Chain A
């Protein structure tokens, strides 16, 4: 009898902590969601703009776009966040921690998203543009009516991947004092001296958010596929 109780006690203790602390993550979840959504939306917008810069015939704009991408891809996101939050105030550019995190995350995913878009755009067969231009469309018309819709559809799988990475990258905002899921978990761990159940909660929340996100992306992909045989 004692043997069985001994076997169960750690589980009971574990889940007692889990159920006690899980609801206390409510604000943290909101933060993580806000960070993710902003970095995804702004990142997509930045990505689209940077893609357009890369595809213009103006060499200067192209250079700027590629410089931006090389910086973002060439340095860790963690450093970028430190730089925005602790470095920029030194030259008089001061943002609060949340704004800093949004800027950092959006600029970061923007660079990767722009490469995803560019890849998708150049993968559209040149015959598509020729057909559009032969009808009499301008470059801009053919880009927005013919090329971009097809490229967007083609970019959805990689875009989804990038969105998932953006959710996980939001955990790095913890280093600049934002009490999103990861920092909250760290604080509760320190308070309870019992990190395992707390980190378990954090993991479950991330998993649920990402599963919902990837399920909706799958659905979107399916709906965009109506024009295939």
Chain B
């Protein structure tokens, strides 16, 4: 089952001015795989994710989506982004649209799909994240956890091949983290391919097929959750894990 390559990252380099943030990253993401990316602050986790859907321009290296090498043309990048969903730390819901319209806007504006069809699908997605009763309210009236669940539904509405999560629970009050993780866990069980940057180690251990530890712009170690959390090899990973647990 896990043979089709969804994302392939090859020798990815990224610098901001003189600061080299990614120093040659290689990463394969197969269909149905859930990969957690962990690492200290400044290790390049978020930058890696943002490079994969071109919110940051890479300096060097290649990114393949569904086996296709992505060039820098605006059209191609827009097309790629339809296939690669993204969930942000700060949700970034559109405050001037209701919850339902937030979920609908992608398919309606970008894919020019029939509104009734899109609405039906959007309501189903909201039901999946447990927010069908909030369809007609505006984001400002929701809690952080609810907003993040809407953001997940919004990303899913584009029927992406893979979802990228950029620290999806870091901006949440502790008591709201669970509801968001629960939704992500449900997606994982449903076979969704996901790349998750997270600080929730317990969750990463439980939900991931593979965990990648990033340190100073390089992949220091990667493996199954058991390998990473119970049998860390490198000193850096050992000290990282002991520092957070």
Contacts and interface: CB of A to CB of B under 8 A. Distances in A.
Interface string B128-156: 00000000001111000000000100110
Contacts of B84: 134
Given A134-B53, A150-B96, A145 B105 contact: yes
Contacts of A123: none
Of the candidates A139, A149, A227, A228, the one having the most CB atoms from chain B within 10 angstroms of its own CB is A227
A227 B78 contact: no
Interface stretch (A65-73, A125-133, A161-169): A125-133
Contacts of B98: 227
Contacts of A227: 95-98, 138-140
B141 A135 contact: no
Contacts of A141: 109-110
Nearest to B83: A136
A229 interface: yes
A18 interface: no
B78 A136 contact: yes
Given A227-B138, A229-B141, A128 B92 contact: yes
A133 B55 contact: yes
Contact of A135 (B74, B79, B96, B158): B158
Contacts of A138: 74, 78
Contact of A226 (B92, B109, B138, B151): B138
Contacts of A128: 92, 94
A137 interface: yes
A136 B86 contact: no
A115 to B, nearest CB: 22
A228 B93 CA distance: 13
Given A136-B110, A150-B95, A229 B78 contact: no
Interface string A103-142: 0000000000000000000000101101111111111010
B95 A136 contact: no
Contacts of B97: 227
B8 interface: no
Given A135-B105, A137-B78, A130 B158 contact: no
B90 interface: yes
Contacts of B82: 135-136
Nearest to A141: B109
Contacts of A149: 96
B109 A145 contact: yes
Contacts of B85: 134-135
A132 B105 CA distance: 9
Interface of B: 53, 55, 74, 78-79, 81-82, 84-86, 88, 90, 92-98, 105-106, 109-110, 138-141, 151, 154-155, 158
6 contacts: A127-B90, A131-B92, A136-B79, A146-B94, A227-B96, A229-B141
Given A130-B92, A137-B106, 17 more contacts: A125-B92, A130-B55, A131-B151, A134-B81, A134-B88, A135-B82, A136-B82, A136-B106, A137-B109, A138-B74, A141-B109, A145-B109, A146-B105, A153-B96, A227-B138, A229-B140, A229-B141
Interface of A: 125, 127-128, 130-139, 141, 145-146, 149-150, 153, 226-229
Q: Lowest 4 A-B CB distances belong to which pairs?
A: A136-B82, A131-B92, A227-B138, A134-B86
